[in-house]
Chains A and B, each alone.
Chain A
């Protein structure tokens, strides 16, 4: 735009859309509901102006197109007139829009200066939320926020649908351009990763994930809890629920299935805590957020003999070895979610289970089990196992030898031996 008129008073602009000066001067002394109504009006007007501008631009382009097609027609002033006309009204619309914008800014709607200010009526100026929704009252912000969140979800779903379709109908097209940043992390893994992730994305519920996990890792014992139930259980730990004999394991396994079947889908939606126990080695507590989802948000490791109200996903073990593992694992849930949110829980649990060799697997760098950590002056086993570039292919259950191999391939490092990237 060539013109930048800053000080045009509202009176001089044509159009009946702008509020007259006396009203605008009295704005500050108006009761809040009137201010709110005014602001809503102005926002609606602004939207209308924007629509007009869009149309005007269309018309301009059309006029230019026609003029370009028939340059030498007699009486071809028509397109030229059109262009001039449209140009004038466009300028007007933009001017009006600028005015409204200034008014909205002054009344505190767009620049949030009055957001925190509450007047005697307890009302706030209407807010324009990040996702574009306009709300009249602050308490509606919450709803708008939720609308925003669902908009994000809808976009993500739309993107996924588009990506799936593209992969299905146009396999010859390069996938990298669509997946963007995610593909960078997948660089280095073989092309079967995409298929493998589709396989893992079959695991739609926590129960699916845990069943699959128990197939892969023979020693692990899993259970799920509502948040409050976990606190009760933590205070009772350690107990002899998990007997070492396989017979009892089967009994417990089947009882869990019976319980989950009888209570049905209600339980699945309330699962907030997952417990992984590798008997005699460690107990890991994972929390899901939101409850009932497959999104892990915290994990903590404990001795299988520890018990008490501090045993939870954000708690800290009394033993140095488990404290250090918990520290190392702090960013793991977020990492797995960033790589692929659908398979994040399963991958995280698999990675956690790699610690079953905590007290037997020597450090992949120095070859020893115990090492004195310089910083803390503690003797520790290799507590750090890398989770970046963690990929485990889905092994068929009959192929037990390769299954063991793939889990044992994950290196283990002392704190000081961990490779720096």
Chain B
């Protein structure tokens, strides 16, 4: 499937993310001939183990995430970041998890927004909203190049597209910038051919960063 880079918004020190930034970003996409196509939505859940008595919390994995992605609505992806594990499961697994009561959702996030076509590229701009509080927690973007699915072969062209995007965005006075972090897919046992597992891992990777950012703002 097509290569995708997931980017997240890194606000400058002392600033937060707000809907004004989101609007500017969307306008910028349209200024480079992006054609708005429709909406997209993904969800992410942070799980925490349900502790029985006398259980040692340290034994249980901490970074346990579950992600549902719009490309495959009937699949659900689990990522154990610490252990470098990613698994694709049927979406009915969520029912099983509720029945098992072994892990519960600590935080649930929605990623939603619009998607745009730029020739062979597809861009998605999305706000990160906490389901519980409905507050804007961040901004993510997905950059997709549809013709090829090899991570290695596409790296240069994605890099140039990222630079073009950064350049277009830098013309607007915004307090922050987009960051691309490249996880080590090999550690997760993933091949060079892009899959939704790769997307799940990218989301899991940026979550850590976003949480750290949010915490530093709070402090």
Contact = CB atoms under 8 A, between A and B. Distances in A.
Interface of A: 244, 279-281, 303-305, 319-322, 359-360, 368-370, 372, 376-381
A321 B120 contact: yes
The 4 tightest CB contacts between A and B, nearest first, are: A280-B150, A378-B119, A319-B147, A303-B147
A379 B146 contact: no
B119 A359 contact: no
A379 B118 contact: yes
Contacts of B195: none
Contact of B148 (A281, A370, A377, A378): A281
A305 B148 contact: yes
Interface string B16-57: 000000000000000001000000000000000000000000
Contacts of A380: 119-120
Nearest to A322: B147
A281 B154 CA distance: 9
A38 to B, nearest CB: 68
Contacts of A369: 156-157, 160
B192 interface: yes
Contacts of B154: 359
B120 A281 contact: no
A321 B147 contact: yes
A322 B146 CA distance: 11
A270 B105 CA distance: 62
B120 A320 contact: yes
Main DSSP-derived SS at the A contact region: loop
Contacts of B185: none
B164 interface: yes
Interface of B: 1-2, 33, 118-121, 146-150, 152-154, 156-157, 160-161, 164, 192-193
Given A244-B192, A359-B153, A360-B156, A320 B148 contact: no
Contacts of B33: 372, 377
A359 B148 CA distance: 9
Contacts of A322: 147
A319 B146 contact: yes
Contacts of B1: 305
A320 B147 CA distance: 9
Nearest to B191: A244
A372 B157 CA distance: 13
Nearest to A244: B192
B160 A280 contact: no
Nearest to B150: A280
A381 B150 contact: no
A8 to B, nearest CB: 76
Given A305-B1, A359-B156, 20 more contacts: A280-B152, A280-B192, A280-B193, A281-B150, A303-B147, A304-B148, A304-B149, A305-B147, A319-B146, A320-B119, A320-B120, A322-B147, A359-B153, A359-B157, A360-B156, A369-B160, A370-B157, A370-B160, A370-B164, A376-B119
Nearest to A303: B147
A127 B4 CA distance: 66
A317 B58 CA distance: 53
A191 to B, nearest CB: 39
Nearest to B35: A377
**Best-surrounded residue of B2, B119, B161, B164 (most CB of chain A within 10 A):** B119
Contacts of A279: 150
Contact of B149 (A305, A360, A372, A379): A305
B44 to A, nearest CB: 27
Given A378-B120, A379-B119, A368 B160 contact: yes
Nearest to A302: B147
20 contacts: A244-B192, A279-B150, A280-B150, A280-B152, A280-B193, A281-B148, A281-B153, A303-B146, A305-B149, A320-B120, A322-B147, A359-B148, A359-B153, A359-B156, A360-B153, A368-B160, A369-B157, A378-B118, A378-B120, A379-B164
